[in-house]
Amino acid sequence: MAKKLKSSLVYLDYASATPLAPVVQKAMVKAELNWGNPSSVHQVGQLAQVALASARRQVAKILAIKPEEVIFTSSGTESDNLALLGVAKTQPAGQIIVSAIEHPAVMAVTEYLTKLGWEVVCLPVNEFGLISAKDLAVKLTDKTRLVSVALANGEIGTIQPIREISQIIKKWRLQHNTSWPVLHSDVCSAAGYLNIQPHALGVDLMSFSAQKIYGPKGIAVLYKRADLELEPLVYGGGQERGLRSGTESVALATGMATALALAIKQQKKQSVRLSKLRDWLIGEILKLIPNSRLNGDSKQRLPNNINISFSGVDGEQLAYALNRQGIYVSTGSACSATKNEISPVLKAIGSPAEWGNIRITLGRETTKKELQRFLGKLIRMVNDFHN
């Protein structure tokens, strides 16, 4: 079972990683009994293949897609890379459109694609981190092959109008009698809080991982529309319909399926509960700490996300100070937090450079009592910075 923190410690970084749910761990231990190679033709291997197929079907059923549209990968980052590079490798250099606040896994790929002759268009965001779907409409050209916009930003919590974006793209395709561009969305931060069924969102490619929904690290999914052609990043035995070679982990796939099922089951209840805690804490911080501001949209926002900036405060030093008091927060995405640079997301929304920020993300085990303890420490520490 996942090791619990001492009662005096407060974990508020659920957007970076979540503890393994006991039911998920139990399912994974049982799945490890099917230790054979799923590609083997003998009975031991075929038992593993049956278990792997069962996990795939479970994920597909939850997402209302076909099992063959579920590609297991090792991480959300790999899923993003496979989506973008997988499309790019099938086409001559064209245009890719992304928002200015995409995850580093997407932005790093676009930077690489520019070296291969691709044109990358970054859609600006407003002060709340929202892109304009109408802005996208005027950027589309006959060279546009891919649009990638995350359903929700993991750093500031803003939820993007993906359905509207999808409608614009589909209208473009119809008007120009083409199958391009395709729409990809990273929904890693939204999983467990928002509807991530691909057909409901209108996406052609979609990435998410298990580690943010109380599942294991090392397993993620790429949804790929059945008739969409991709080129693999990893070559070998041709597993995952030729898109991700390498022996599959039955236990990890089972962990993903079990975690996803649990997340969907608890989604409505947890979203309502966490939204109330989120709004209470935001209100208290803005009321009790002068010169504080909320980053991201106050309404179109993930239920568990709070990102706050404070004038004259170093965000990293504040996070370290809280850590010494047994309170664990972050300053942004864990995938870029170690680079010691000003967040590109905060830059994009126009947050003043002299304002330091912290990200507080809530989870299933978060209580109001924990948040009250955190708030008291936060008020004292911010005051210390100003004195």
Which residues carry out catalysis?
Answer: 335
Do the beta carbons of residue 131 and residue 123 sit within 8 Å? yes
Do the beta carbons of residue 260 and residue 209 sit within 8 Å? no
CA–CA gap between residue 346 and residue 296 (Å, rounded): 9
Do the beta carbons of residue 64 and residue 255 sit within 8 Å? no
Cα dihedral 274/275/281/284 (nearest 10): -150
| 236 CB neighbour count, 10 Å cutoff | 11
Do the beta carbons of residue 248 and residue 239 sit within 8 Å? yes
